[in-house]
Amino acid sequence: MTPDSPIKLVSELLDLPLVDSEGSFCGIVDDVEFAGDGSELKLKALLVGPGAYEQRMPGWMFWLVRRIAGDRLLRVPMQMVRTIGAAVELECPGRDLGLHQSEAAAGRWIPRWGAM
C-alpha cells in the first residue's frame, strides 16, 4: 500500500511501527495529522512520541505517561512514507527526521566495549 492509496486509519495505520530506510525501528504511529478544509481531508503527517497520547487516553493516564516518558512529539510528513504494510517504511534514515534523538541520548550512557 502506498501513502496515496485510500486507507482505514485506525485498522491499517494507527499504532504501526515505523521502520526507516536503514531498516531500524524508529517509533510508532501514535497519531495522525490532517490537512484540508473539511470537505476533503488528506493525511499530512504521522505523529510520533508520547505527546501524541494526550487525545487517546484518559487524563490521569496521560499525566502518568508524561511523568515517565515526557511529552515529546515529532511529525513525519507523509511525503517521507514509502509504503504502509505490517510496518510503515520511511524514505529516509530516522535521524534525518529527529526520530533517533532519544536513542542517541540514552546511547551516551552506554559503554562501547565488551560485546561480540
Partner 1 sequence: MNPLELTLGIMTAVGGFVDISELVFAAKAGSQFGYALIWVFALATVGIIVFSEMSGRVAAVAKQPVFNLMRHRLGLKLGLLTLAASVVSTLITCAAEIGGVALILNYLTGAPYMLMAIGMTGFFVASIWVLPFKWIERTYGLLGLFMIVFAAALVAIHPPWNQFARGFVPQIPNGLSTKELLTFGYFTVAIISAVMFPYEVYFYSSGGIEEQWGPKDMFTNRLTSIIGMGLGSMLAIAILANSAQLFGPANVDPEIPGSAALQAAIPFGKWGLILALLGMFFAVAGAAIETCMANAYSIAQFFGWMWGRHKKPWEAPRFTFTWLVLLLLSLAIVLTAVDVMVLVEFAVLCSILVLPLTYLPLLLLAGDKKYMGKHVNGPFATALGWLYFAVITAAAVAALPLFILTSGGNG
| Residues near partner 1, by CB under 8 A | 10, 14-18, 24-28, 30, 48, 53, 56-57, 61, 85-87, 102-103, 106-107, 109-112, 114-116
Smallest distance, partner 1 to C-beta of residue 44, A? 20
Least Cα distance to 14 among 33, 30, 34, 35 occurs for 30
Query: Which cell is 28 given?
Result: 510508532
Task: Pick between residue 91 and residue 102 the one whose CB is nearest to partner 1.
Answer: 102
Task: Pick between residue 44 and residue 72 the one whose CB is nearest to partner 1.
Answer: 72
Task: Pick between residue 7 and residue 78 the one whose CB is nearest to partner 1.
Answer: 7
Task: Pick between residue 35 and residue 57 the one whose CB is nearest to partner 1.
Answer: 57
Smallest distance, partner 1 to C-beta of residue 69, A? 8
Signed CA dihedral, 13, 45, 6, 9: sign only:
positive
- DSSP states of 19-38: E-TTS-EEEE--EEEEEE-S
Q: What are residue 110's DSSP bridge partners?
A: none
